[in-house]
């Protein structure tokens, strides 16, 4: 092989694909970065056989070829190059790099040894604005379970509905997060669960612009094509939890709150709540005021914000992290908090429409909580 590429573009490509590189794999070649130069393009990819990220950059190719480079060492070395171009030459098992006055010779593996992920044959597809998908992931991923004992809950459920709505769901047993957005060019109905790691990397690559991205599904994998970059992820096996059974329709108390004011108050009270073993905040809803309380060995705090309460006054306590996670990702200026008793879940919904739904389980209240 013999080719050369721009150093900055090479570094950017490496930083993208290495997000799919495992820390330690039982298959040593997967700890590397696959490079192959052909035509006028350098193709790079990393994979852990569950998630694969591919990208390509322009290259001046004199002789087609490729190799798998030792991942972290290669990435760290290229990051420290100070020349404008990197030139690659040689064949397996040794490839020489040249950048400015640096000339490392690296041991490499054959590209034929790099396992291929399963081809994603299109069985279902839909399109959605990149900004919408990015926001949906951000506003649900916090509720994904980290307990591998229930593997299906370590992913985010995507449900494509007949009314051209994508419903994204995450839950961990203490809270439920649901976001809804419209999709276009949907080719049917589909329900899948994508690992949260893959969803986070998809979010990182999404531009946040109004342009649409196409999600392509086979029975076992999903693929997103960003033009020069592609992400392929396996889907989690099994049926997602029947979360609809948790969603109460009737509530005795409704409070309209300013989301920024509520977040600020929770963040202040959390500073002391987190010093206590329970990490709990007590909420006291009255006709026009919400009071928040927390106690710990470091002290106590009370905070208040104005609200509009419809229904009976109520006291209820929450783990400060869980309630803050739900509130901080709401983009609306105001939201509606729905409650029934101190031992039933709190529901947070928009004042109009159904773009989001958050449910948080309360915690037991202690004296002085």
User: What is the rounded average pLDDT for all residues in the chain?
Assistant: 94
* Segment 105-110 mean pLDDT: 97
Q: Report the Cα 354 to chain-centroid distance in Å.
A: 21
Hey, how many other C-beta atoms are within 10 angstroms of the C-beta on 347?
Answer: 22
What was the pLDDT predicted at 366? Answer: 58
* Segment 78-91 mean pLDDT: 97
Confidence band of 369 (pLDDT split at 50, 70, 90):
very low
Q: In which element (H, E) is residue 272 found?
A: helix 259-273
How distant, in Å, are the alpha carbons of 40, 55, 204 from that of 264? 53, 41, 27
Task: Measure the CA–CA gap between 351 and 348, rounded to whole angstroms.
Answer: 10
Top pLDDT among 279 and 293 is at 293
Lowest-confidence segment of 56-60, 78-82, 171-175, 246-250 by average pLDDT: 246-250
CA neighbours closer than 13 Å in the CB half-sphere of residue 173: 9
Q: Are 342 and 362 in contact (CB under 8 A)?
A: yes
CB contact burial 200-232 (16+ within 10 A = b; e otherwise): ebbbebbeeeeeebebbbbeebbbbebeebbbb
pLDDT in tens, 187-199: 999 999 999 999 9
- Give percent above pLDDT 90 in the chain: 89
Task: Measure the CA–CA gap between 71 and 73, rounded to whole angstroms.
Answer: 6
* Segment 219-229 mean pLDDT: 94
- What CATH architecture applies to the domain 249-360? Roll (3.10)
Confidence band of 296 (pLDDT split at 50, 70, 90):
confident
Task: Measure the CA–CA gap between 232 and 160, rounded to whole angstroms.
Answer: 19
Helix axes 130-138, 196-205, angle to 10 degrees: 140
Check whether domain 2-113 has CATH 3.10.150.10, yes or no: yes
Confidence band of 24 (pLDDT split at 50, 70, 90):
confident
Spell out the residues 6+ positions from residue 118 whose beta carbon is closer than 8 angstroms to its own.
Answer: 218, 220, 221, 234
Q: Is 80 helix (H, G, I), strand (E, B) or coil?
A: coil
Residue with tokens 């590429």: 5
CATH number for the segment(s) 124-244: 3.10.150.10
Q: Are 40 and 121 in contact (CB under 8 A)?
A: no
Evaluate if residue 368 carries a pLDDT over 60: no
Q: Are 114 and 97 in contact (CB under 8 A)?
A: no
Q: Where are the domains of the chain?
A: 2-113, 124-244, 249-360
Task: Measure the CA–CA gap between 71 and 21, rounded to whole angstroms.
Answer: 8
Confidence band of 245 (pLDDT split at 50, 70, 90):
confident
How distant, in Å, are the alpha carbons of 31, 152, 344, 364 from that of 257? 49, 34, 20, 23
Kindly state the DSSP code that residue 141 receives in the 8-state scheme: G
Evaluate if residue 5 carries a pLDDT over 80: yes
Q: Report the Cα 232 to chain-centroid distance in Å.
A: 15
Evaluate if residue 22 carries a pLDDT over 70: yes
pTM: 0.92
CA neighbours closer than 13 Å in the CB half-sphere of residue 92: 15
| Tokens linked to 294 | 């927390």
What was the pLDDT predicted at 227? Answer: 87
Kindly state the DSSP code that residue 319 receives in the 8-state scheme: E
Is the Cα torsion angle 269, 270, 272, 273 positive or negative in sign? positive
| Tokens linked to 50 | 């569950």
Dihedral angle over CA of 231, 237, 242, 246, nearest 10: -60
End-to-end Cα separation, the chain, in angstroms = 68
Task: Measure the CA–CA gap between 144 and 156, rounded to whole angstroms.
Answer: 7
What was the pLDDT predicted at 131? Answer: 96
What was the pLDDT predicted at 275? Answer: 84
């Amino acid at each position: 092989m013999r080719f050369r590429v721009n150093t900055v573009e090479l570094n950017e490509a490496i930083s993208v694909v290495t997000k799919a590189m495992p820390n330690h794999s039982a298959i040593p070649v997967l700890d590397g970065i696959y490079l192959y130069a052909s035509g006028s393009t350098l193709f790079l990819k990393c994979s852990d056989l569950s998630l694969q990220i591919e990208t390509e950059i322009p290259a001046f190719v004199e002789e087609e070829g490729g190799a798998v480079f030792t991942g972290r060492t290669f990435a760290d070395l290229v990051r420290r190059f100070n020349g404008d171009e990197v030139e690659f030459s040689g064949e397996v098992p040794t490839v020489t790099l040249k950048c400015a006055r640096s000339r490392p010779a690296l041991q490499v593996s054959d590209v034929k040894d790099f396992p291929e992920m399963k081809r994603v044959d299109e069985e279902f597809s839909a399109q959605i604005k990149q900004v919408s998908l990015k926001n949906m992931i951000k506003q649900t991923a916090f509720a994904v379970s980290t307990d591998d004992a229930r593997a299906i809950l370590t992913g985010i459920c995507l449900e494509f509905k007949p009314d051209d709505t994508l419903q994204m769901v995450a839950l961990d047993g203490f809270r439920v997060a649901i976001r809804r957005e419209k999709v276009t060019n949907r080719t049917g109905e589909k329900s899948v669960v994508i690992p949260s790691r893959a969803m986070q990397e998809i979010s990182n690559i999404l531009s946040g612009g109004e342009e649409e991205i196409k999600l392509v599904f086979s029975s076992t994998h999903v693929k997103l094509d960003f033009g020069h970059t592609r992400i392929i992820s396996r889907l989690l096996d099994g049926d997602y939890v029947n979360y609809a059974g948790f969603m109460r329709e009737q509530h005795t108390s409704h409070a309209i709150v300013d989301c920024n004011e509520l977040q600020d108050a929770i963040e202040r009270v959390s500073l002391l709540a987190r010093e206590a073993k329970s990490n709990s905040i007590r909420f006291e809803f009255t006709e026009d005021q919400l009071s928040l309380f927390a106690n710990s060995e470091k002290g106590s705090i009370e905070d208040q914000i104005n609200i509009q309460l419809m229904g009976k006054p109520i006291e209820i306590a929450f783990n400060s992290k869980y309630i803050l996670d739900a509130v901080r990702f709401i983009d609306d200026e105001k939201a509606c908090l729905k409650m029934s008793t101190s031992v039933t879940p709190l529901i947070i919904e928009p004042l109009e429409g159904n773009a989001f739904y958050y449910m948080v389980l309360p915690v037991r209240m202690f004296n002085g909580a």
